Amino acid sequence: MASSQNMQNDTPALTTLSYAGDVILKPSGHGKPAIRLLCSSICLGHGSSVFKAMFEPDRFAEGQTLSVDSPPEIPLPEDHPQAIERLCKILHFRSGDDIAWDIDHYADVAIVSEKYDCRDAVVAWFQMSVPRIWAQNRPFYDEKLPFVSYVLGLPSEFAKVTKRIILSHTKALNPVTATHKTDLVPLELLQELETRRQVALQNATDALKPEFVQRIGLGTMTVAAMCPRERAVADSWLHNLISSGLLFMPLVQSVEAIKFRVDGHFAKLPIEHGVAACSSNIPFWQGRCGCQTGESKRDHLSAEIGFMITMTKGMCLDCFYRKVSDGAIDRHCRVSFDHDGMKKPES
């Protein structure tokens, strides 16, 4: 019984972030064990307007004073302990002593940085971590990166990750995961991102069926071919799409998955042709016979889809800020897009 009581009365060990610390923060939210952090109120106040106001003499808790000899303990029952610890390390210039790999941790830190108004201090730490996060190339990481870059206000990272989602993801983002169970990111962001993904996927899918294939159709004689050879070319094209797993690809596939199959399978298959035997007398302005264009279309299909990928743009964070605020937030676009859909150097 006494042992149980001692366990209940155990005080978490103290982590010292400043030897001149004059306040102890004790976060204990999100069902996590509480931790105690000895901090400098000056360091906290320099990076956070909220902490600065919290520790002003005329606003601090009555009967308490900041003291190096006897630092008061401030409970933070709603805050994620590890996120507050990371935030305090950043504000004490101690963020480089360990590495966070869990994408949820970055999202938690973004939340507390927004709450305590110290996003500017967190941005540099996050941007140093971006290459490590990006190298993971995990869809689950991509789902959280729009949230982190939106909350921290990082336009370049936001544009980059939204472009990757548009091109490489096979389904819509999970709203619960993508918003990190908060209301900090509007659902309109996820809706617009999914719309762009679907449009890009449809454009890539349309490229798989050139005009002469769409005109003749599959296994139907309702539309006459321009010449006797054209139907054979169209059937050959469609057969190769089936062999490459491209014709009946479900809608959950991605643009990059289509490009991969085109390069790995379709581009290597022969297309029936017969230019010398073409008997079409259709004027050139009404289109060219498929027997004349089939092989060329196959050879250029990879480049066509590759060009679509290059030209796909990520989302502009500042444009989206303006959109969801109905113009109340008037921000200059910090990212301009060049031909590859990414940021151009500012002049």
Tokens encoding 159? 């544009």
- List, for residues 1-45, the tens digit of each pLDDT value: 333 343 445 788 899 999 999 999 999 988 889 999 999 999 999
Helices 81-91, 119-136: crossing angle, 10 deg rounding = 110
CA-angle at 61, arms to 60 and 67, nearest 5°: 70
- With cut-offs at 50, 70 and 90, classify the pLDDT of residue 175: very high
- List, for residues 234-286, the tens digit of each pLDDT value: 888 888 888 888 877 665 589 999 999 999 888 888 877 655 566 666 655 55
DSSP, collapsed to helix, strand or coil, labels residue 180 as coil
Beta strands in the chain (DSSP E): 14-16, 23-27, 36-39, 73-76
CA-angle at 311, arms to 179 and 256, nearest 5°: 65
* Mean pLDDT, the chain, whole residue set: 82
Q: What are phi and psi of 275, to 5 degrees?
A: -60, -40
Which residue, 243, 272, 269, 244, is CA-closest to 257?
244
Q: What is the CATH number of domain 9-120?
A: 3.30.710.10
- Position 209 scores a pLDDT of 83
Which residue, 189, 204, 214, 230, is CA-closest to 311?
204
Sheet of 23-27, strands arranged across: 14-16, 36-39, 23-27, 73-76
Domain segments of the chain as ranges: 9-120, 137-347
Residue 82 DSSP label = H
More confident position, 323 or 117? 117
When pLDDT is averaged across residues 68-80 and rounded to a whole number, the result is: 93
Contacts of 316 (CB under 8 A, 6+ apart): 155, 159, 333, 335, 337
Residue 272 DSSP label = -
Amino acid identity at 31: G
Rounded distance, CA 70 to CA 185, Å?
41
Rounded distance, CA 120 to CA 247, Å?
49
Q: Which long-range contacts (CB under 8 A, 24 or more apart) does 97-100 make?
A: 99/129, 99/132, 100/129
Rounded distance, CA 178 to CA 173, Å?
6
Rounded distance, CA 179 to CA 190, Å?
9
What pTM does this model have?
A: 0.83
Residue 302 CA to its chain's centroid (Å): 25
